[in-house]
Structure 1
């Protein structure tokens, strides 16, 4: 499965609005990626805190994210949202990851976080990434002090920055550019840019500790850090160390995940859940069934045989069966067993599908992170008044996940391990554990829990020089950096060869011995009721169930040279320019365990080595033309143009450009617009991912029991393949994945249009200050590099009225195996024909002195008009806007009231209702069975802060109402409990937090 958090923070609306237009003192912070002027940052914070409509203060030269032009004001043609450290502390975030993955930044777009540990995600389990506009993490560029943060993670699909590596304790603020900026920053800046800005000129020693405790237990977070620094007339140095820990939250820790049901209707307008399978053993809806996608159960405590006459289990029908459950009371037919499948029994939920150990699985996977960060500069007094500077970032992540494993154990026909009354059974032909012989009996055993873990070491070193260039008022900046991500990943797996070896036995005395005793072989347990129930000898488990280890190394080197300064005069001022060269080289080397490479992981994927490198040379330039200033009809009129020439070793060359304009006809109104292009070569893993074979459960076969809805499009398509309405898939779905370099994968291009207005009326002083901004965005990605997802491919193919004759996603599904009816899906990296995202961002901010203090309220809203894609050029656009996990609306509200040393905050986060019924093409009858809609979702948070002379205490509650996620039916979407697997919902519940800071 491929998958693609919420909370809320205040946007400093002034930041989001005014950074782009610079006509209000509530403008965004601006950070100098070359000089990182502490004076400028301080002035920016003072300005934002004042929140007036005064003319912006005169500032030292700065650079606003989204531009390389040095300026003395905050004006820019692109909208920038700024999140301050104070805001994140008041909101209760315990990590920068939580901030960036919150609704206020993402606009409701799904993110990969610690709830995805059991799914295949880019960067491997435990990695947390950021995707703006829902366009994917590889299209969002993350910067630290204006420079790239290299990818980090484990396994072969490392290609995006892991937010775990960021130095939380020394961060001053975060700048979010929600606009394409490839002509400024190069590849990846398709949907936007995240710039993490650290504090400079630190002259103190600071301790900070924060603890977030969940009310219901599990998932607690703690972070402890120290930061220090010193500076003089010609130097500064500062650093930080922090330790972050997040405890595991399991499915058993929350009531709403303890009993995953199908949550279906009865088709006649009954309550949701009334159509669920009733477990004959409990008389209640079955927990963790195996009905379809999102049911999350698995067959256990069952054996498979050829069809035989026997006694039906409670809830089953018929007299012949091929699935059986132990029952010592049965004395006829298959003695000691009752029938739970096959024959006339088509409801597979009659079988046992739930093991209490399933609740030990990770809902939120645990992680420990240690981060060390050092930065400094020294004035050299030569080379144009040069200043040498450096940064060193070291980070170690230890993450793990707990899963649950089913063991399908194939007993060879005629094996002495099979009891006498089953010796005549032939369940299937040869398998990879039967040594080329037929399988007599297959045991479906609830094996228990397994673990996987990742140790990732990330290092980045950067050094550079900046100073005055040869021309008057021109400056230069030259830097080089090297980043390395070195990971070891471990998982527990059954080894196919050892299983086969242990099942090939002969009688020996009172027991059994391996025919081939190599490697200390231990004979498999005899097929008994205890074995089927999962009571397995530990010495045998130790022999066949082994830890397997892989390694991943990702390296990136960058060299950059940039000059900036004035060119000539125009009526509105001096034309400014910035020009530079950049070189990047990256390499990946993922070496899975030898057993994975050899396909020796039983019922798991096989993976080949992923190894490759790429490099790119780029030349770029940017110019800003102040056409008019301080004249009637044009308080400001300026145009900004930028261009970049890119030459990849792998994909050749191309050019990108961006042109933007800013017009302020009167002081209280401004208009901005920009249009740009981008060119992104596929990430290394998208090019070179080693061929990987995997599988989906047979329950993912779209035709499994398709006769339950004989009028559906899917039923018609399944029937066309010659399958009976009661077809039960017995074979897993093969999934073949690989990088696309050898298949002609092409670079992707995109176009980005942004237009917006800002209103800041000059109200009477007694009315307070009001700001409003509205920005329209339209992004189109052509030849987008992506995987469609095997489950999605199958569903879209079999729900297509034209089916295989219509092409589309069915082109990626091979015809069924004529003997086994098994399916094979190709889910490699391809060039999607088009991705398209359109919508609006709205920000409203109001501040007013009320009583003894100051009230500030900020509301931010994102409205998507379209979130669509198509796989092939002749396909129609597939718009998912407003469907599950793709909200059309998402917003936040933040209200603070500050009186002297005290400050209180109320926060609201909202995600719009979503409905997938139309998207899935459900008929009126199906809508009475399947609920694929969720209501509006609201989260409330409150906090209180006291700031002393050299200390500060903040405490509060997140998810004040202890809101749980909404529920949907099984059958189309991955779920957690009955809730959609979606980062926008809070899985942990009400959380109390306290943050303590002390400066020495």
Structure 2
């Protein structure tokens, strides 16, 4: 790609890599139709990969499925993972943007106990914080793009859960699964505000190298926020799934499903060997999505011959605003959190031979995205971007060949 754009300029994107892989999997049925072992099976998978850029790696996964009786099944998995940086993360062209952020020298008092450190840093740059006025209020020029020095991510996963399919309630399936993921060398970008705060408070002065020299009028000229290997992620949660299909009449059926996720923990390390931050139930108001403690998706479909009507509900739990290091509070900010929100969609469908026709309304009650402190959109587009367009209707048709 040449990088030509009608917006902010972007440099050329281009590059690639080669990989050779060998994959194998197998299944061992240990017991079938035995006492307290309607089914006992072990699965194994393995993959060897060789990259011309990163060398070779081995990854594996093993799982066990045990059904003591027909109505209940227990399952557990343990495995490793490996993700090479994609072409854009490695070779994406650099571009200039203006994300929501503020110059620390323009808001020294907001740093509380760290205000003295910020004051000293600004004074060392020749800035009188009492009279300083930033040119880009609420936004800081930021250069983003690929990084050819990136290394792959690696991780380990384990899950354990159970599925219940009771014979006395035909069509019902319920499951509970606990999962835990750990990732190393995570590939991502640091937020502009995080980089500035870490530098000016002295919490991590290695971030100061990402901040370009100020202009002759002491204005921030740019911050580099390229892709990099940041550190690690440790996250765990519980998924609750419910599916129920019932035949009401010879022409009518009802399908119900619900998926709820309870986030137990989300810890993130933003620099190698650095501090672990707890982002459970937090939303980054300066850019990036959040980690709600509870999220839910429910769907109900009524089918009458070739007609169908579907209702869908989504819930995103409330979150406290966080700048990457600390939470806002009622004392440090007027509004400091976002409430949980519900959205609703409906779809009417009709199947005519090979044709599938659908009409519906998304965001039925015209739910507005919640306010999040931001200099550009007054919400968090990474979390609530789909709500910005408001309620809208759609028609679509598909055909099966």
CA offsets 1:439-497 (integer angstroms, 9 cap, x no match): xxxxxxxxxxxxxxxxxxxxxxxxxxxxxxxxxxxxxxxxxxxxxxxxxx5426xxxxx
**What SS does the aligned partner of 1:916 have?**
strand
Deviation by residue 1:735-761 (Cα, 9 ceiling, x = unmatched): 4556443xx532321112222210111
1:916 and 2:314 matched: no
3-state SS of paired residue (2:387): coil
Native 8 Å contact 2:195 2:208 kept in 1: no
How has the CA–CA distance of structure 1 residues 625 and 713 changed in structure 2, closer, same or farther, with 3 Å as cutoff?
same
Cα distance change on mapping 1:155 and 1:658 into 2, 3 Å: farther
User: Residue 809 of structure 1: CA displacement?
Assistant: 6.2
Q: Which of 176, 199, 207 is 1:810 aligned to?
A: 207
The 1-side partners of 2:239 and 2:256 are apart by 17
Distance change in 2, residues 1:626/1:788 (3 Å) = same
Relative distance call for 1:666 and 1:789 in structure 2 (3 A) is same
1:716 aligns with 2:129: no
Larger radius of gyration: 1
Aligned to 2:172: 770
Work out the CA distance in 2 between the residues paired with 1:870 and 1:883: 15
Aligned to 1:921, the other structure's residue is in SS state coil
Per-residue Cα deviation, 1:796-844 (whole angstroms, up to 9, x for no partner): 544xxxx22x326635445865964344533233221212332222210
Q: Secondary structure at the match of 2:131?
A: coil
Q: Distance in 2 between matches of 1:726 and 1:678?
A: 52
Name which of 243, 254, 257 aligns with 1:855: 254
Structure 1 segment 218-617 matched on structure 2, within 5 A: 489-491=4-6, 604-605=8-9, 607=11, 609-617=12-20
- Tell me the SS of whatever aligns to 1:686: helix
Matched, 1:969 2:373: yes
Q: What are the within-5 Å matches in structure 2 for residues 777-792 of structure 1?
A: 777-792=179-194
Task: Note the C-alpha offset of 1:990.
Answer: 2.3
Give the structure 2 partner of residue 93 of structure 1. none
Cα 1:678–1:811 shift into 2, 3 Å: farther
In structure 1, stretches of 5+ residues that fail to align are: 1-153, 157-488, 493-603
Displacement of 1:772: 0.5
**Is the alpha carbon distance of 1:808 and 1:678 closer, same or farther for their aligned partners in structure 2, counting shifts above 3 Å?**
farther
- Tell me, yes or no, if structure 1 residue 878 matches structure 2 residue 283: no
Question: SS of the residue aligned with 2:194?
Answer: helix
Task: Deviation per CA, 1:193-222: give whole Å up to 9, x if none.
Answer: xxxxxxxxxxxxxxxxxxxxxxxxxxxxxx
Quote the residue 2:382 is aligned against: 982
CA distance in 1 between counterparts of 2:170 and 2:46 reads 42
Partner residue in 1 for 2:286:
none
Instruction: Say what the alpha-carbon RMSD is for the aligned residues.
Output: 3.2
Counterpart selection for 2:64 from 658, 661, 675: 661
Task: Quote how far apart the aligned CAs of 1:988 are.
Answer: 2.2
Change (3 A) 1:642 1:872: same
Deviation at 1:637, TM superposition (A): 1.0
C-alpha distance in structure 2 between counterparts of 1:606 and 1:768, whole Å = 58
Unaligned runs of 5+ in 2: 284-288
Q: Which residue of 1 aligns with 2:130?
A: 725
Q: List 4+ stretches of structure 1 deviating above 6 A.
A: none
Q: Secondary structure at the match of 1:716?
A: helix
Deviations 1:360-396 (A, max 9, x none): xxxxxxxxxxxxxxxxxxxxxxxxxxxxxxxxxxxxx
8 Å CA contact 2:212, 2:223 repeated in 1: no
Q: Distance in 1 between matches of 2:364 and 2:53?
A: 52
Question: Are residue 821 (structure 1) and residue 225 (structure 2) matched?
Answer: no
Deviations 1:760-789 (A, max 9, x none): 1111xxx55321012222221111222223
C-alpha separation in 2, matches of 1:997 and 1:783: 43
CA distance in 1, matches of 2:144, 2:398: 49
d(CA) in 2 for partners of 1:815 and 1:615? 35
Q: Number of matched residues?
A: 384
Query: Matches of 2:17 and 2:248 in 1, distance apart?
Result: 59
Q: Distance in 1 between matches of 2:312 and 2:369?
A: 18
- CA deviation vs aligned residue, 1:258-284 (integer Å, no higher than 9, x gap): xxxxxxxxxxxxxxxxxxxxxxxxxxx
3-state SS of 1:612 partner: coil
2:307 alignment counterpart:
902
Alpha-carbon contact 1:809-1:871 (below 8 Å) kept: no
Match of 1:756 in 2: 161
Deviation (angstroms), 1:638 = 1.2
Report the CA distance between 1:924 and its aligned residue: 4.1
Q: Is the 8 A contact 1:693 1:737 kept in 2?
A: yes
The 8 Å contact of residues 642 and 659 in structure 1, kept in 2 or not, is answered as yes
Measure the CA separation in 1 of the matches of 2:371 and 2:144. 32
User: 1:811 & 1:623 partners in 2: Cα distance?
Assistant: 51
* Residues 633, 155 of structure 1: alpha-carbon distance in 2 compared, 3 angstrom cutoff: farther
TM-score, scaled relative to structure 2: 0.82
- Separation in 2, partners of 1:807, 1:813: 12
Distance of 1:961 and 1:748 partners within structure 2: 41
Partner of 1:944: 348
Residue 196 of structure 2 is matched in structure 1 by 794
* Cα distance change, pair 711–989 in 1 and its aligned pair in 2 (3 A): closer
SS of the counterpart of 2:18? strand
Post-superposition shift, 1:677? 1.2
Q: 1:702 to 1:896 in 2, by over 3 A?
A: same
Counterpart secondary structure, 1:712? helix
1:794 Cα deviation (Å)?
A: 2.0
SS at match of 1:903: strand
Query: Which has more strand, going by share of residues?
Result: 2
Q: TM-score, normalised by structure 1?
A: 0.35
1:618 aligns with 21
Q: Secondary structure at the match of 1:617?
A: strand
Of 915, 927, 932, the residue aligned with 2:336 is 932
Question: Partners of 1:872 and 1:813 in 2: how far apart?
Answer: 13
Check 1:966–1:734 CA distance in 2 against 1; reply closer, same or farther (3 A cut).
closer
Are the equivalent residues in 2 in contact too, given 1:624–1:638 (CA < 8 A)?
A: yes
Q: Within 5 Å, which residues of 2 pair with 1:63-142?
A: none
1:618-641: CA deviation from partner (whole Å, max 9, x where unpaired): 222212111111111111111111
Correspondent of 1:833 among 231, 239, 243: 231
Tell me what 1:992 maps to: 393
1:643 to 1:816, Cα distance in 2 relative to 1, 3 A: same
Residue of structure 1 in register with 2:361 after alignment: 957
Instruction: Compute the displacement of 1:694 (Å).
Output: 3.9
Counterpart residue number, 1:706: 107
2:329/2:336 contact within 8 Å kept: no
CA contact (8 A) 2:103 2:140 kept: no
Alignment partners' CA distance in 2, 1:946 and 1:610: 45
Q: 1:737 to 1:942 in 2, by over 3 A?
A: closer
